[in-house]
Amino acid sequence: MVQGVDLAGSFTLSGSSRSVNRMGYGAMQLAGRDGNKLVWGPPRDVDGAIAVLREAVASGVNHIDTSDFYGPHVTNQIIRKALAPYPADLVIVTKVSCRRGDDGSWIPAMSREELTGAVRDNLCNLGLDVLDVVNLRSMFSVHQPAEGSIEAPLTVLAELRQRGLIRHIGLSNVTPAQIAEAQRIVPIVCVQNHYNLAHRADDALIADLAREGIAYVPFFPLGGFTPLQSGTLSEAASQLDATPMQVALAWLLQRSPNILVIPGTSSLTHLRENLRAATLQIPAEVLADLDAVSRQDAAVSTARHS
C-alpha cells in the first residue's frame, strides 16, 4: 500500500525541505456528533479512530490535516494518542481563527489573544513543541471566501513563527486578493479552499499557485457532508472498475501537480478505498468528460432558477 500512495507523487513545501505524499488524510471526521452538532465530542469508537490513523500512516500517508476546533480538542488528542511519538517525516497541518459555541456553531476567533491561545492549544493537544504548518482560515464568511483584510491576524501568526512555535504558514477559505496580501507579510506554503470535481471556482487560482510553487489543498474533495453525485462520475467509475469517490480523488491528483488531497473518513474500509485512488490513472477521454461535470451542474442550476 505504501507503494500505491507513493504513485501519486510528492510535493515539497515551498521554502523548506519537507516533502509530503500528495495523497494525505483529513482528520475532521474523527470527531463525533451530538445531535445536530457536527464534528462535536468524541467518536463512538475511539479505538476505531486510532486504527484508521495508524493504518493511514503505515500505508504511506505523511500529511495529516486537522484543527483543535474539531471536537473541540478531541481530534488532536486522538491523533496524539494514535501516533505520538510521531514519525520523522509526518507533517501535521492545523488551522486556527475559529472557536466552537456551546450549540456547535463555528464562531470567528481572530483576535491576538484567540489566535495565540489556539496555537498553544494545538501544541498541547498534539503534544508538539512546534507546529509544522498553521493555516489561517478567513472567517469573514464561514462557508465561502469573502473579501476583507487578513493583515492583523496573519501578523500574529508571523510573530509566532518568528518565536519558533510555527514552521510554516498557510491560508484557508481565502480569495486571490487575500493571498496577495498575505504574501507581503509572510511566506505562504499552501492554500486550502473548497474545491472538487463539481465546485471549480478556483481553477485559475490553482494554476497561479502552481507557478509559484504553492500547494493547493482542496477541502471537501468528495463533496463534504453531501457526497458528490453525478451520472458522468458514476459512468466513469464503471468504465475504470473503481468507485465514484476513487475517480473524484484521482481526478484531483491528475488536475495539477500542486494539488494535495486530504480525504477524511472514520472507516478503515473507506480509508483503503480512498488510498487506492492514488494508483488510478484516468484516460484523457474520460478526463474530458469529467472536466465537463461542473459546467453541466452550472447549466442545471441556471435552468432551475430561471
CA R_g for the chain: 19
Vertex 215 angle, CA 283 and 226, to 5°? 65
Residue carrying C-alpha cell 467518536 = 43
CB-based burial, 197-216: b 16+ in 10 Å, e otherwise = bbbbebeebbeebeeeebbb
Report the C-alpha gap between 33 and 51 in whole angstroms. 19
Contact 138, 97 (CB under 8 A): yes
Displacement of CA 109 from its chain's centroid (Å)? 20
Contact 66, 75 (CB under 8 A): yes
Phi–psi pair at 190, nearest 5 degrees: -155, 155
Contacts (Cβ under 8 Å, ≥6 apart) of 2: 58, 59, 60
Active site residue 70: yes
CB-based burial, 4-17: b 16+ in 10 Å, e otherwise = bbebbeebebbeee
Of 70, 86, 195, 216, the active-site residue reads 70
Report the C-alpha gap between 275 and 71 in whole angstroms. 25
Contact 132, 98 (CB under 8 A): no
Output the nine-digit C-alpha cell for 145: 471566501
What amino acid positions are annotated as catalytic residues? 70
